[in-house]
């Protein structure tokens, strides 16, 4: 990447934009595997840029899939929630058909949650738990399953919890990818069935126990036998099989909080050409759009083959970038 460059990207509706970006600062979040930086566009408007450097992509091609997940799921959230929910990132633009594919997001809110939790009193921790459940309710209502909930993907500004880094996310109803770690639901660990927003509720239950009891709770993430009565009541059913598990909205009601109203719409309705273009690309390389039936198993081509399909053999680094983006 260079400090100042002109790029071509698509917005949420598929419209092409040619913009000049200036790199300001490096940026990192604990759970992300993508390179991140703060850039500014026209009128010094800041964006968070997440991208795959060419050399990193050659070493680890799965980075391209992580970026695709990020774009696909945040596009879904931006469309359904209208970019107005502070609990989730907002898509500004993307280009997956360049040498170093990228996404532009509005800058994240707040600070890493782990940095601020040490200073919270009991009331603050309760507000934080409510914020986590609000974020999960919003993404679940939008048909998105984060799949990697932990403190590392949460940010906190004192009033709102923002859930970030959707690199491992899936659409509800897609075949579950197997996950790892003590906060994963049994269904996610086994990679069986289809992704369900209540997968994240299990992870939230583990996280809430961790916030109340300390990290020792991770030794037996779902063992509530010695938990305080109020905590057991709050998390009742969270560690049951997914079809018996409460939703994030159910847990909010137990905390006497009304879940925000979300009215999901048809994934394809009104999304514009941008969604269809990106989803068509994902299908050609073996992915599936949120909420759509998974295609039958077929050999999945590597990223380089998929890129050749759209890039052809044109141009050098800069000339090729513009030609490929506008094709």
pLDDT of residue 282: 52
- Reported as a pLDDT band with limits 50, 70 and 90, residue 295 is very low
Q: Where are the beta strands (DSSP E) in the chain?
A: 4-10, 16-27, 35-40, 46-51, 91-95, 102-105, 111-112, 144-145, 154-156, 161-163, 170-171
pTM here is 0.82
| pLDDT digit string, tens, across residues 188-229 | 999 999 999 999 999 999 999 999 999 899 999 999 999 999
Looking at domain 4-108+268-326, its CATH class is alpha beta
What CA–CA distance (Å, rounded) separates 247 from 161? 18
What CA–CA distance (Å, rounded) separates 62 from 99? 15
Mean pLDDT of the chain: 84
- Reported as a pLDDT band with limits 50, 70 and 90, residue 264 is low
pLDDT of residue 229: 96
- What tokens were used for 230? 């109020």
Percentage, residues of the chain above pLDDT 90: 71
- Reported as a pLDDT band with limits 50, 70 and 90, residue 299 is very low
pLDDT of residue 227: 95
HSE-up of 40 (CA within 13 Å, CB side)? 7
Phi and psi of 130, rounded to 5°? -60, -40
Architecture of domain 111-254: Orthogonal Bundle (1.10)
Instruction: Answer with the residue of higher pLDDT: 244 or 327.
Output: 244
What CA–CA distance (Å, rounded) separates 158 from 242? 32
Q: Would you list the domain boundaries of the chain? A: 4-108+268-326, 111-254
Region of poorest pLDDT, from 14-23, 80-89, 290-299:
290-299
């Amino acid at each position: 990447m260079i400090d100042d460059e002109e790029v071509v990207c698509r917005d949420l509706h598929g419209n092409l934009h040619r913009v000049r970006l200036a790199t300001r600062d490096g940026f990192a979040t604990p759970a992300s595997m993508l390179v991140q930086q703060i850039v500014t566009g026209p009128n010094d408007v800041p964006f968070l840029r997440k991208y795959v450097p060419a050399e990193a992509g050659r070493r680890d091609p799965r980075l391209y899939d992580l970026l695709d997940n990020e774009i696909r799921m945040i596009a879904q959230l931006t469309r359904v929630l209208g970019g107005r929910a502070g609990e989730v990132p907002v898509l500004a633009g993307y280009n997956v058909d360049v040498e170093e594919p990228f996404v532009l997001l509005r800058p994240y809110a707040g600070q890493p949650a782990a940095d601020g939790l040490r200073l919270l009193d009991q009331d603050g921790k309760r507000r934080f738990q409510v914020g986590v459940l609000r974020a999960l309710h919003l993404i679940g209502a939008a048909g998105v399953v984060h799949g990697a909930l932990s403190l590392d993907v949460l940010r906190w500004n004192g009033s709102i919890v923002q859930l970030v880094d959707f690199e491992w996310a899936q659409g509800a109803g897609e075949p579950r990818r197997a996950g790892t770690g003590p906060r994963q639901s049994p269904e996610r660990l086994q990679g069986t069935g289809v992704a369900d927003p209540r997968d994240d509720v299990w992870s939230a239950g583990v996280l809430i126990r961790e916030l109340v009891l300390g990290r020792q709770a991770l030794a037996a993430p779902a063992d509530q036998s010695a938990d305080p009565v109020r905590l057991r009541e709050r998390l009742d059913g969270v560690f049951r099989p997914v079809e018996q598990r409460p939703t994030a909205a159910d847990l909010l009601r137990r905390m006497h909080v009304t879940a925000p109203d979300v009215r999901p719409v048809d994934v394809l309705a009104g999304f514009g050409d941008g969604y269809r273009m990106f989803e068509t690309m994902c299908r050609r390389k073996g992915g599936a759009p949120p909420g759509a039936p998974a295609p039958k198993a077929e050999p999945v081509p590597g990223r380089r083959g998929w890129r050749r399909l759209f890039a052809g053999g044109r141009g050098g680094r800069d000339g090729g970038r513009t030609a490929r983006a506008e094709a």
